[in-house]
Structure 1
């Protein structure tokens, strides 16, 4: 039985906002030994704002998000930029300055 056959593990914040979903790493035997387990509550609420992550730009001016390379220019090499996940695009910001918006090409399960 592979990890994907065991279901999905959802990581939530205190307000039950979905932060990340991962394959469940626990075997059925390990799940049975969890103390004070209780049934799941209502489904998690999706995030209301776009997901934002930070990525460091390589020495060649490229950052990678969800397996996709985004060229932002060698002038940004070594800097940490913010990438915002829109519905079908990635938006790249350097602080408050908008740099670029590129279409999402990779199928991704998680950005983090």
Structure 2
């Protein structure tokens, strides 16, 4: 049943004139593993109705392209742990080492 209603949707990302050049380069770089000759293919077979699979494939294709052309995230600003965080970490390390020391049988 689902093989009869399976849908494949293809989009020529490399040769499409509707995608601006900067976005095309970004999308080609991010989707490099999924492209075959610059063409992005999405399949959908989770529904029994072919129309539902067509809609699912369209949504999946749109989500993939939207994610691929999204601007890169801002670089992370380096931060340092607070003094309280350092003290809590060291106190927990001391508690853990004491706990393990208490478990020893030979009394070292």
TM range (shorter): under 0.3
TM-score when normalising by structure 1: 0.22
TM-score when normalising by structure 2: 0.23
| Greater length-normalized contact order (CA 8 Å, ≥ 6 residues apart) | 2
Between structures 1 and 2, the one with greater strand share: 1
Between structures 1 and 2, the one with greater helix share: 2
